[in-house]
Structure 1
Amino acid sequence: MKLKGLAPAALLLWGAAPAFAHGTAIARPIQQPAEDRELWITLATDSLDEVQATLRASGMAPTTLPRTQNSVSMMKVRESALFRISEMMHERYKRCAGFLAHETEAEATEAMKRAGAPELPYLTAVDYTLDNADTVNALIGDLHEPNVLSTISTLSSYPTRYYKSATGAEAALKLKQIWSDFAASRPDVTVEEFVHTNYNQRSIILTIPGTTKASEVVVLGGHLDSTVGSSGSNPNAPSPGADDDASGIASLTEVIRTALAQDYRPERTVKFMGYAAEEAGLLGSQDIAKKHKSQGINVVGVLQLDMTNFQGTANVDVGLITDYTNVAQNTFLRNIIGTYTGLVIRDTKCNYGCSDHASWHGQGFPASFPFEATFADSNDYIHTASDTLAQSGNNANHALKFSKVAAAYMAELAKGTVQSTVGDIQAPTVALTGPSTAAPLVGPVTLTATASDNVGVTRVDFLVDGAVKGSDTTAPYSFVWDTATVPNGAHTLSVQALDARQNAGTGTPLSVTVNNPSTVAALHPTLKAPACTTVNAKCDSGDLLLGRGTLGPERNAPNTLNSSCADQSSGSFHVDESNDRLVVSTVDGTPFAPGKTVKIEATVWAYASGPSSDKLDLYYAADATAPVWVSLGTLTPTSGRAQTLTKTYTLPSGGALQAVRARFRYQGSAVASACGTGKFDDHDDLVFAVTK
């Protein structure tokens, strides 16, 4: 936890003093549960001072003095402190988790020693050859983005997958079910739970036995848990984890699906793993890697997929992690990617303990970690409630690239063949039948299609500019597309149909023109607030509200009707509170009118170290030219930094222009006047036209 107004270095001066916020001393004790045990952690020494300072400021000081060797340090902490360390590692160093947790001092000491040791010899020296192109191409050719998207959606729909939460345990069992369904036709394939001590979340392992070299094992894994900064104090805090790491699990799941659908028979045994408790110090993968080492299991290669769906680096597809990974296998992986995918690679580093590959590397197994971007450009929204599919454009196009990488890696390291000619190989036929008009499209438009298949159509996907916008599983196939979700101008509609074998057929694309009235507000010259003066189904403030008063600075501040309510400018931009955007839209997609249910979406920047102390008060006025504010209640952020809070209400009868107000504050209370005086208060109005 940080102290408002103090630089990180200043934290060291406060020792174990209570956390401060906004200049007022506020004790925020951490309740230690009765079962709160002590663990040892190892971490890169460059982060040691800041970790110690963060724990002291949070009342979680380490219980031993640190020891350092090979640029790695070790110390003992309470298990309840792990989430705070994880939070700080992400915010300060963009590491995830950035440390390893150990049950004993001996294990931590050994890990610290191994960090500076040369790589251990392998039980089997692997000949890295590229000679299995038929199998690679068959697998890659059967990978489909909608399937990857579906898995991300399923996993990120759980409120949280935090390793000590009930829904985290449920999500692991859901993954087991998904993988078991794929393996139903292969009695030789097993799907099992790996049970861990001290928490209920299981790791999930699917095994495809090898044919001629079964004792040699290839591992492909990713972690299934998720976290936000408040997970340790509130295990149920929303943490969808769409990118971190539902995306990596989804990329691997699609490889499992096509491998089993094509009756893939590897020479070496292949194990797919969904690790529990990665965010708490790689706990799950360490248990598994140590067991493989202690049992003498001959793991000849490990591939880690942790975050695959956010292309943060322009013109780069894969960031290849070069530290704490195997040099020879990394060269092999570069050759695979270049030969079979043509993806652009850039080397990058993520430092000590940044993902589950480190667990295998620490036990002497060759591991590689292809990442979604260079590490410096990774997704800023992970470990927040905003780690959703929306940050990746609501598609899985980038994650699909890593399915291809993983499939090619598996086929070239485990070798083996597929039976591509077994079963149904005929793709469905499909055609887009609507819209039929050549006129510009406005508002919601129904897209329709026909499809047929020799066995049966299981799903029809409707695409706009190459991205799936909706699907239908039952004829007649249709989808209502809100054209207001895309810019005005030319767009391409297309359709694809899939059968149970995931054979995909595509229809002829259709070019259309969208010409919706503008939904982006402009500053009203008289009312002095952002306004949409043409009746529509949506009004969006855009970037007019970004900031608070002089912070940002906010354009045209204070952006309240007739400048009637001033903002305060204490603190720092995007460290302290601000309301950055307001969007009002009808729920049914039709124009604003009295009696319509509308949704307010307020994008706020919450104080990272105390988001529950921030409050969003929402109000509406039936006549923006003579406003009488009516309260819609108060919302509380669930995590720090950027997030969107929503509220619905029914439009009243009133003026031709109506308005909503957002007051975002630190502590304090709601006021009937809709105008507060707290020194971190941000007030913003949005005006929109309503049909009389």
Structure 2
Amino acid sequence: MRLKRVVPVVVSLCCATASAEEPRDKEVYISIGSETVGTVRSSFRGGNAPTLVREANGVSVLKLTESQLGDVSAIMHDKYHRCAGFMAHDTQEAALAALGPAQPVQSLVSYTLDNAPVVNSLFSGLQEASLRSTIIQLASYTNRYYNNSTGGTQSASWLRDTWTSYASGRDDVSVQLYTHSGWTQPSVIATVTGTVYPDEVVVIGGHLDSININVSSSSRPTATAPGADDDASGVATLSEVFRVAMAKGYKPARTVKFMAYAAEEVGLYGSQAIAQAHKSAGANVVGVLQLDMTNYRGSSWDLTLVTDNTNAAQNAFLGNLIDTYTGYTRTNITCGYGCSDHASWTAQGYPASLPFEAQMNNDNPNIHTANDTLANSTDGNANNALKFARIGAAYLAELGKGTIPGLPTDTTPPTVSLTAPASGATVNGTTSITATASDNVGVSKVEFLVDGVVKGTIVSSPYSYAWDSRTVANGSHTVAAKAHDGSGNTTTTTARTVTVANVSTTGTYDSTYKTLRCSAAAATCDSGTLFNGRGSLGPELNTPNTLRGTCKDASSGTYKSDESMEALKVSTVDGSNFAAGKQVKVEATVWAYATPSSDRLDLYYTANSTATTPVWTLITSVTPPGPGQQTISATYTLPAGANQAVRAQMRYGTSTPTSACISGEYNDRDDLMFTVQ
């Protein structure tokens, strides 16, 4: 009997340390990038190096005492320019959970740039002097340490009161202290309820706490740590965006939450608690922007975008937004395992991004010391942070959408014309739907509709969408284009009727070859539901569904709990019939175990499926992205041969595949034959 373990991902960050107010030096655990473990452990002397508990997937778990966390922070800062590049956990179980696969990212929203009037209005209200004033106030607290009962809590109360004053008279806005059970400093959250999509949430955050790592652990709660750049600058930046939004009377379409997190420097504790609470409540967080260090320019670039532990689609949107509205120069960086509060949201499957002030090797050298003051930021003012306030305001307006009362109203709709396909055309495979569009101010996007449903969105000319007509049944269908401008005006073309005529075949069981076969040359061969299950589990029809029945299915476990192959499909990428030299896409639908990191899907092809002993060629071998039913795809080029086949091998065990028929009590193989012209 095997033992498997469900391992959800948790991530954390910056500059963890111990509290002098703890009655004893308690045992804790950290998860940390495995490439740093040797350096971290060798830096401790006297036999008190952290104990390595386990390593997997490039992440290691170490056991140590709470007073050593600040020392690890110092090592990570000095050796790797990370702040701090590890996560602190109170239990071994929580730490080991960080070794597992990441939670799947929830469905993303459609990213568009069509709210320029609101963006520009918000820009007009942003002020360097206001930003500078907030940084000065936050840095005036000697220490904003998470367990400091004066500066740590007083700064949170001041920020709450300040945000409350900004939102005076707004019954759609609430400001609260978010208290935590493990330490004294609360987080601060301001919520602006959306007018159209109140259940979709946009988060803009930064961390409120500060730390001095150059003192003993017992001195940290009271040591001088102004944290002007890390991260009074980030909190001041999002605070300025909130101030201007309230002053302008901005009403977001989506709910927006401004957050100042407690306890970031001790392992992202504040943001972890908040992100996990949102996940437990089923909150639909559609985007997170983290602002951590915004007021120091260490390189020639205006900013950098962090690409690891962030969401690539939202990063692309953010980059496009920066290029469109600011013109700031930017480059990409990685910051290692858990480098700011965005990682807490990423761990829960929410899309998050982090624009940063510099590259990692030239960031602010004064952070985490008594010298992190406004005077030691670039030129002693808040001009650099003002750039990030503009980015935050644009992100707010374009992801939060919404309106500002009194802005000039554009009532002229765009014009749009469908240029292809022609009315009455017969289409198959991948077909281009194209359009032209114009507007008196500007076209923000063109949507392409099939049977009245949006199938694709293009935000700039030329407006063209590659529609895979094989996703609909053969017969009559309508296509249309819908143009939008930045003021919400739209125009939709008259729908055109086209005839879809794809040659698509669902395989039938071949008693000679003992699996499903598509005997006519076509563009698609699909198993449908005939592969569902594994052996007697399910049960699977015509088991084992492998060529000549030579590779038997295993029978251990439970259907829709343990591993199985559910469906297999192969199709040409361009929609034409199978032919040598054509690129094809293989799609395997599998059932993965609750701990999918222990599973593997191997995809193979053979050019002569009718041979007594076919030769199988490996296409790819991958781990399922999550538990339960998953569809995994890969492409390859068809070789010569009239009778070909693909095999999907779903198995327990992540080692490199040694054959196309690996024995194992949870393994399943299915073959799909098809004819090539």
* 1:178 pairs with one of 162, 171, 182: 162
**CA–CA separation in structure 2 for the residues paired with 1:190 and 1:176:** 10
* 1:126 pairs with one of 101, 105, 109: 109
Q: Which runs of 5+ in 1 are unaligned?
A: 1-29, 423-692
* 1:71 pairs with one of 38, 47, 58: 58
Higher RCO, Cα 8 Å, sep 6+: 2
- Corresponding residue number in structure 2 for 1:89: 76
Q: In the alignment, is the contact (CA less than 8 A) between 1:60 and 1:78 conserved in 2?
A: no
Which SS does the other structure have where 2:204 is aligned? strand
Which SS does the other structure have where 1:155 is aligned? helix
Q: In the alignment, is the contact (CA less than 8 A) between 1:97 and 1:282 conserved in 2?
A: no
- Corresponding residue number in structure 2 for 1:210: 194
* 1:228 pairs with one of 212, 218, 242: 212
Q: Deviations over 1:311-340 (max 9, x none)?
A: 0012x1111001110000000000000011
Please state if 1:146 is matched with 2:107: no
**CA–CA separation in structure 2 for the residues paired with 1:52 and 1:196:** 31
Give 1:33 shift. Answer: 4.5
Please state if 1:34 is matched with 2:28: no
Give 1:61 shift. Answer: 3.8
Which SS does the other structure have where 2:380 is aligned? coil
RMSD over equivalenced CA pairs, Å: 2.0
Task: Say if 1:47 and 1:416 are closer, same or farther in 2 by CA, change over 3 A.
Answer: same
Please state if 1:338 is matched with 2:323: yes
Give 1:66 shift. Answer: 2.6
Amino acid at match of 1:83: G
Give 1:399 shift. Answer: 0.2
Which SS does the other structure have where 2:100 is aligned? helix
Q: In the alignment, is the contact (CA less than 8 A) between 1:213 and 1:268 conserved in 2?
A: yes
Q: In the alignment, is the contact (CA less than 8 A) between 1:162 and 1:231 conserved in 2?
A: no
Show the 5 A alignment for 1:669-688: none
Task: Say if 1:190 and 1:60 are closer, same or farther in 2 by CA, change over 3 A.
Answer: farther
The number of aligned residues is: 387
Task: Say if 1:83 and 1:127 are closer, same or farther in 2 by CA, change over 3 A.
Answer: same
- Corresponding residue number in structure 1 for 2:174: 190
Show the 5 A alignment for 1:246-265: 246-265=232-251
Give 1:376 shift. Answer: 1.6
**CA–CA separation in structure 1 for the residues paired with 2:197 and 2:28:** 39
Task: Say if 1:38 and 1:139 are closer, same or farther in 2 by CA, change over 3 A.
Answer: same
**CA–CA separation in structure 1 for the residues paired with 2:383 and 2:22:** 42
Show the 5 A alignment for 1:477-626: none
Show the 5 A alignment for 1:420-459: 420=406
Q: Which runs of 5+ in 2 are unaligned?
A: 1-18, 409-677
Show the 5 A alignment for 1:272-311: 272-311=258-297
- Corresponding residue number in structure 2 for 1:242: 228
Give 1:198 shift. Answer: 2.0
**CA–CA separation in structure 2 for the residues paired with 1:60 and 1:139:** 53
* 1:105 pairs with one of 49, 67, 92: 92
TM-score, scaled to structure 1 = 0.54
Which SS does the other structure have where 1:347 is aligned? strand
**CA–CA separation in structure 2 for the residues paired with 1:79 and 1:185:** 45
Give 1:350 shift. Answer: 0.5
Task: Say if 1:157 and 1:370 are closer, same or farther in 2 by CA, change over 3 A.
Answer: same
**CA–CA separation in structure 2 for the residues paired with 1:255 and 1:138:** 12
Amino acid at match of 1:47: T
Give 1:92 shift. Answer: 1.5
Give 1:55 shift. Answer: 4.2
Give 1:79 shift. Answer: 2.2
Give 1:35 shift. Answer: 4.2
**CA–CA separation in structure 1 for the residues paired with 2:24 and 2:238:** 35
**After the TM superposition, which of the residue ranges 103-112 and 275-284 deviates more from structure 2?**
103-112
Please state if 1:348 is matched with 2:337: no
Amino acid at match of 2:369: T
Give 1:31 shift. Answer: 8.2
Show the 5 A alignment for 1:4-15: none
- Corresponding residue number in structure 1 for 2:309: 324
Task: Say if 1:225 and 1:322 are closer, same or farther in 2 by CA, change over 3 A.
Answer: same
Q: In the alignment, is the contact (CA less than 8 A) between 1:87 and 1:228 conserved in 2?
A: no
- Corresponding residue number in structure 2 for 1:574: none
**CA–CA separation in structure 1 for the residues paired with 2:20 and 2:127:** 46
Which SS does the other structure have where 2:64 is aligned? strand
Q: Deviations over 1:94-121 (max 9, x none)?
A: 111211122332322222213xx4x613
Which SS does the other structure have where 1:227 is aligned? coil
TM-score, scaled to structure 2 = 0.55
Which SS does the other structure have where 1:239 is aligned? coil
**CA–CA separation in structure 1 for the residues paired with 2:32 and 2:320:** 32
Q: In the alignment, is the contact (CA less than 8 A) between 2:117 and 2:407 conserved in 1?
A: no
- Corresponding residue number in structure 1 for 2:462: none
- Corresponding residue number in structure 2 for 1:312: 298
**After the TM superposition, which of the residue ranges 34-43 and 329-338 deviates more from structure 2?**
34-43
Q: Deviations over 1:188-234 (max 9, x none)?
A: 21111111122100111110001111111000000011111126220
Q: In the alignment, is the contact (CA less than 8 A) between 1:179 and 1:191 conserved in 2?
A: yes
Give 1:364 shift. Answer: 0.8
Q: Deviations over 1:163-185 (max 9, x none)?
A: 11121121111111111111122
- Corresponding residue number in structure 2 for 1:389: 374
- Corresponding residue number in structure 1 for 2:532: none
Amino acid at match of 2:152: G
* 2:356 pairs with one of 371, 381, 386: 371
Q: In the alignment, is the contact (CA less than 8 A) between 1:240 and 1:385 conserved in 2?
A: yes
* 2:404 pairs with one of 415, 418, 424: 418
Q: In the alignment, is the contact (CA less than 8 A) between 1:138 and 1:420 conserved in 2?
A: no
Which SS does the other structure have where 1:192 is aligned? strand
**CA–CA separation in structure 2 for the residues paired with 1:416 and 1:384:** 41
Q: Deviations over 1:52-95 (max 9, x none)?
A: 233445x7543x43311111111232222222222221122111
Which SS does the other structure have where 1:233 is aligned? helix
Task: Say if 1:133 and 1:109 are closer, same or farther in 2 by CA, change over 3 A.
Answer: same
**CA–CA separation in structure 2 for the residues paired with 1:256 and 1:87:** 34
Q: Deviations over 1:462-499 (max 9, x none)?
A: xxxxxxxxxxxxxxxxxxxxxxxxxxxxxxxxxxxxxx
Calculate percent identity across the aligned residue pairs. Answer: 52
- Corresponding residue number in structure 2 for 1:135: 118
**CA–CA separation in structure 2 for the residues paired with 1:300 and 1:327:** 14
Runs of 4+, deviation exceeding 6 Å? none
